[in-house]
Structure formats: structure tokens, C-alpha cells
Structure 1
Amino acid sequence: MRSPALTTITLAGGALAATAAPAFAASPLHPALPTAKTGLAPLVSITKTPLVSRDIALAKRVAHVRGRTLESSYRKTARSMSITTLRRHHRHLKRELRIARRARAAERSVASPQLEAIAACESGGNPNTDTGNGFYGKYQFTLATWQAVGGSGNPARAPEGEQDRRAQMLMDRAGPGQWPVCGR
């Protein structure tokens, strides 16, 4: 048996004609589908909201691993993206997160306890130290010494992991005497 709420469709003279159900008919069991007035906006919003949230969370993680903060305008930018663009951007952010994590792991200190003690004495362990007296970085290299162990540029601008490797090379070549006060 058919529900009286259904629209009847009849074939009249080879043409398809639809007649509406009477106004007193029972209300449909399912909520109304989007109409021409509302369009698909409500459905898109329901689908897009979790994607926007996920995009923002991924972007925050990437920024955090890189030592930055996410710009406040990013949320607005993410909301303006289409669903397809958001999905593509998720893949991009996941790649960026892997790259940033690998880069951060490569920059970590790999110094021996003896070198860590020397660094603590020389610069307080700060790899960015530039005191203006001709000594630079975590181990207070001179530019000539830095270049002698293969470094280029200013040691204070080099990643901490590179400073540790170069200091270990110097320690292996010449011993702790290169740091006359702190190397004892």
C-alpha cells in the first residue's frame, strides 16, 4: 500500500505528469532535503567542518615542530578552501610534518658528555651565542677553527647538530686543549 504523502506520477497521453499529495496528508518520515532556496550549503557545511578542523590541527603541528605559531588568519583561509582543496592540503601538510620532524631530529644535539660540559662552560650550551669577541656558537669557535673543521659561514648560525659534529672533529684531531679553560 502506498503512503498518501507520496506524490503520484501518472502517464498521461505519453507525457509524464506529477500531482502533489493533498495538504492534509501525513508529514514525511525524513527531514526535508535541501531545496532550491537552501541549496547544498547545509550539506557542504556538515562535510567541510571536520575537514577544516583537521586542517587547522595539522597546520598547528607543523608550525610547532618548526618552532613557530600558526597565524590567526589561517582559520579563515582554511574555511575558504573547497573540500577537494582541503583534502589535497591535508596530504601536503602531512608531508610537511614528516619533513619538519626529520629536520628537527637532524638538528638535535649528539654531543658526548665531555663536549656538553665544554659547551656549558663556554656558552651556557647556547648554539646561537655571538658575544662579539671573535668567538661564535655553542663551542665558541673562531672563524678560522670553524673553517678548519669544514664549517662555512658563522658557527652561531649553524644548526646545533652541525656544531656538535664539528666540535667532535676538533676534539678528535687536537683533544680538549682547544678549550684551554673549559676543556680541563
Structure 2
Amino acid sequence: MGLPATGRFTAATARAVRRYQRAHGLTVDGIVGPQTAGSLGLAAPLKGATGTATPSASAASAPSGTLARIAQCESGGDPTAISSDGQYRGKYQFTRATWRRMGGTDDPAAAPEAEQDQRAAALLAQAGTSPWPVCGQGGS
């Protein structure tokens, strides 16, 4: 959601959740309940302001339907994919600048697939499908 992962659900996290919910047509309540968790590709809701984030391990690495569609279009779902000009890298064809902006280091195409899924989910939450002008079309 454009925030560093701290394991704590803070006021900033709640604001980011509300922005995400507004941007994705969900009920805007600042709580990662079943609807929001499903949209993010998480199996279980996150706990509230005094709890910690608790997605299941498989859900944390599983992309949402929108991200799965984008990954298939961008790279055929290959986390090691690199565009012919070398500019776009990994499963979601990140530029290095976008990857760094989302907290990534080194080469996106060398990062674990689960990390690529996590950073793409954060980018989707922050900017919608606009970072993928071709593959992001078709509904989110």
C-alpha cells in the first residue's frame, strides 16, 4: 500500500487502506476485512489498530486476480522475464526506478516471486492499474 512493512497496523496504515478501498470501489472503513483482503489477494483479514498483520504465508505470495492477469499479460507469469531492451524486469515488468520506489533493491527479475507479488500489490494499491497501461486494462 505504499508503506514499509512494519508488522503493525498504524494510523498511516488505516489511511492507506482507506485510500485503497476508495480507489477500488470497496466499503471505505479503514479495516482490512474479507472484502479488502480478497481484493489484495490475502486469504485472511488483517487485525486492527493494536494487532499485527497476519496474512497466511501462501496468501502473501498469491497475487490477486487483477495482478495474476497483469503478470500473465506482461511476462507470461515468469518472474525472471526481462524485456528485449532490458528496461522492464520480472513478473510484472517493473522498471528499476519503480521497483526501488516500492522498496525493492537490486534487480526485480532476480527477486523472489513472492516479493514481486508483494511489491506489485503495493503498487496496485497505490496507483491502480495505470502502471500497466496495456496489461492493466480490462477491469480491475
Aligned to 1:131: 83
Structure 1 unmatched runs, 5+: 1-104
Counterpart CA distance in 2 for 1:167 and 1:143 is 13
Aligned to 1:111: 63
After TM superposition, list the pairs within 5 Å mapping 1:34-183 onto structure 2.
Answer: 109-133=61-85, 134-183=87-136
1:175 deviates by: 0.5
Q: Deviations over 1:31-85 (max 9, x none)?
A: xxxxxxxxxxxxxxxxxxxxxxxxxxxxxxxxxxxxxxxxxxxxxxxxxxxxxxx
The one-letter code matched in structure 1 to 2:110 is R
**How many residue pairs are counted as aligned between the two chains?**
79
Counterpart CA distance in 1 for 2:118 and 2:131 is 15
Instruction: Report SS of the residue matched to 2:91.
Output: coil
Counterpart CA distance in 2 for 1:130 and 1:117 is 18
Higher helix share: 1
1:171 deviates by: 0.4
1:110 deviates by: 1.4
**Could you state the TM-score of these two structures normalised by the residue count of structure 1?**
0.41
Counterpart CA distance in 2 for 1:146 and 1:132 is 18
1:109 deviates by: 3.6
Counterpart CA distance in 1 for 2:61 and 2:74 is 16
1:130 deviates by: 1.4
Counterpart CA distance in 2 for 1:109 and 1:121 is 18
Structure 2 unmatched runs, 5+: 1-56
Which runs of structure 1 show a deviation greater than 3 angstroms over 4 or more consecutive aligned residues?
A: none
Instruction: Report SS of the residue matched to 1:178.
Output: coil
The one-letter code matched in structure 1 to 2:75 is S
Higher strand share: 1
Counterpart CA distance in 2 for 1:172 and 1:109 is 15
Identity of aligned residues (%): 52
